[in-house]
Structure 1
Amino acid sequence: MEGGGSPREGGQGAPCAPPLLELWRQVPPPKKPKKAVLFFEVEILDARTREKLCFLDKVEPHATIADIKSLFSKAHPQWYPARQSLRLDPKGRSLKDEDVLQTLPVGTTATLYFRDLGAQISWVTVFLTEYAGPLLIYLLFYNCTYYWGFAAWMAYYINHPLYTPPAYGDEQVKVALAVFLFCQLGNFSIHVALRNLRPAGSKTRKIPYPTRNPFTWLFLLVSCPNYTYEVGSWIGFTIMTQCLPVALFSLVGFVQMAIWAQGKHRSYLREFRDYPPLRSPIIPFLL
């Protein structure tokens, strides 16, 4: 028959059937059956009373004791994980947080016993508490031994049952107390004047001069009237108490403040060419 032929010889016939290999490639591979996950049930009992505290359903087998503690704390927030002790036996040892449930000698329904460890302190807190005390005590005494030591010494003698009152009685106490308060008020006034000398945010240094406050007029004669008033306060306290340790405290304080005042006076002279020449460091015309 003319014009005929097999489908392979012409383009007008039916398409060729796909090879068997291509059909095999198009068939999707069979899906692997999913393995069934075996979940655990965990009941948590009180180790002392055997009372059931919590029941956890569908716990994954690879869950750790830490995971179980977290789930348990959701039901009982007052027992956060750090204060929980879970064990297999009421009197047994505590399980470790990293222990895995499926590796424990329990069935699919596991029974754990709970004990409250009480409030727990983290190791960071323990570390800070241990070292904070020595550091704090050291810092309190560093450059402070003078004040702490003398304060204890003076307080011991002044408050001792055998303490002897001042020779002139109440009159001496009243006069000395007036001197003490007067000098303390002067000391406060000087500090206020020094604070107001430099505007907020400014680093400009200026020569301190007297203000309208009469207590600041001591700037006319000394560079550090705050130290002058401080020494006067402790002289008044010495007269008021008539106590030897107080007198020694005042003397040592005067020596230290004189050293500070001389240093500040020299600094003023180096920094300001027009610094008032009549000023002394701490005692007018003397020192």
Structure 2
Amino acid sequence: MSIQTVDKVKEKSSIPLYFICFFTIITIILIILRIFFQDLSEWIQETKDIDFKILMEGMNNGLVNFYDPVAISDWPPYYLYFWYFLFFPIYFPIYLNPNNLIVGIYIWDILRLVLTIIIVREAPRVFKEKKDLLIFYMLSIVGFSIDGYYNNVNFLISFFLFYSYVFLEKDKKWIAGILFTLATFKITALLFLPVLLIVRKIKWKDLIYYLVPLLLICIPYVIFPNYFSQMFNNWFYSDKDIHGILIFDSIMWKALQPSHLMFIGLLLIIFLENLTNEDRKNLYRIILVSIIAVYYVYLTTIVFIIPVVFG
């Protein structure tokens, strides 16, 4: 192996370490913000960790009334019901003693950081193109920061989908399908399958490995159709305070928030890594990154900046 090749290997191996440091620093900053600055700003007080608190209120509804409105937010719960079981280990100690809320929040912080570090460390073993890795990491930093500020759940979707892809590469398709299904507590994770089909990582017949676990876990919606209709209606809840150019701006904000850039970046790198033509790959890289940037600048302006600054 030449010296130049060795240097390239070392450079590539050091990239995850740099980003692990970035993610760790972001986590520390967000914790410091919570401890020292939350009481100094009414806006920070109202928004910091708000998604975690919304999740808690949704859990307080119980499984039967899972889709009932919550007092803390205008947005009604819209995750698939099995999220209740995924989040239950965090929720139960807080349910027993509400004073444990802050402990649960810190556990969620740590879990986000640990699972993200695992993805960052493993990604170079799965994806080989340095440019694509950098794009993936950069998009993940944006998503991670916003996910961490509001204390949302998108890091968990990224983790499940990443390892679904890893097990697909190992030809363990049933495990890949189960992990994919776990990620679909937010239905935006369904975008994973079209990407795999487009890049021909799976064939149409392979959908059985993904759809069977998904259909099995959705059986309660067949048994209790009102349960499904309530969830379905919640999906299309539209915030009247959001006035965009497009009719569905409010719904799109819920479906593809900036915090979703963690798994949007994953879908992007899967797509790019499986293109064999370099010219086409470079073209798609420019086009897709530009579309993502423009879309999120637009949506953030419509949904966040304008309401906060001029609302």
The answer to whether the superposition gives a TM-score over 0.5 is no
What TM-score comes out, normalization by structure 1 length? 0.22
TM-score by length of 2: 0.21
Compare the two structures and name the one with the higher helix fraction. 2
Higher strand share: 1
Instruction: Name the structure, 1 or 2, with higher relative contact order (CA <8 Å, separation 6+).
Output: 2
Larger Rg: 1
